[in-house]
Chain A
Amino acid sequence: DQQVKQNSPSLSVQEGRISILNCDYTNSMFDYFLWYKKYPAEGPTFLISISSIKDKNEDGRFTVFLNKSAKHLSLHIVPSQPGDSAVYFCAPRGSSNTGKLIFGQGTTLQVKP
């Protein structure tokens, strides 16, 4: 049973516009939610995270929104740039003691010039 779902395998947006990547989860005990970005032939790199006690966290062009009642989070990228083209993974923390992250399947973002 998948605890973390990214239902859109891919997303294409125009440069300068907003990219919105979505993630749904089932476990209400998750306390931190992380987003990772992955380029081909490289390992994932940490992008931004949010605590379950917050509903928004912003870092430059990246903002993550958390809706606990809906068990949904989203990553907004504004404005989108061609260099943002990558696979984005949602990864809630499974347990505060293990540091275990549970990854979604990923969404491939393509930003067109």
Chain B
Amino acid sequence: ETGVTQTPRHLVMGMTNKKSLKCEQHLGHNAMYWYKQSAKKPLELMFVYNFKEQTENNSVPSRFSPECPNSSHLFLHLHTLQPEDSALYLCASSQDLAVGGIYGYTFGSGTRLTVV
């Protein structure tokens, strides 16, 4: 158990579907992140939240919509995705932004998303 739990582990969705990815941490961390890992590509930062406030949107298309209702939970709402959005989506958390950049984040195991 890594301390960061992501559900579901696997998701197959059609291009017209709406689905949500969930991330939960009980580590008392205040910063949470969404990363995307496509095949043969490095992990790419998507969004950063610090104390529930979004601090970074890395030019992510609007078909990805994050939500952070509290410091323990982070969602990624998906709608009208494309097949090229198929990837591993990783959630992570850190004590705060500065600590995350020095001592690393705690990552979840990820959601493997396939868009058909």
Which chain A residues have a beta carbon within 8 Å of chain B's beta carbons?
Answer: 2, 4, 32, 34, 36, 41-47, 49, 51, 89, 91, 93, 95-106
A–B pairs, 13, beta carbons within 8 Å? A4-B42, A43-B2, A43-B109, A45-B107, A51-B102, A89-B42, A95-B101, A97-B97, A98-B97, A99-B98, A101-B45, A101-B101, A102-B42
Contact B109 A46 (CB under 8 A): no
Complex CA gap A100/B42 in Å reads: 14
B11 touches A (CB below 8 Å): no
Complex CA gap A105/B42 in Å reads: 4
What is the number of residues of chain B that contact chain A, defined by CB distance less than 8 Å? 32
Complex CA gap A102/B100 in Å reads: 12
Closest A residue to B45 by beta carbon equals A100
Contact B107 A44 (CB under 8 A): yes
Chain A neighbourhood of B43, CB < 8 A? 44, 89, 91, 103
Chain A neighbourhood of B96, CB < 8 A? 99
Closest B residue to A42 by beta carbon equals B109
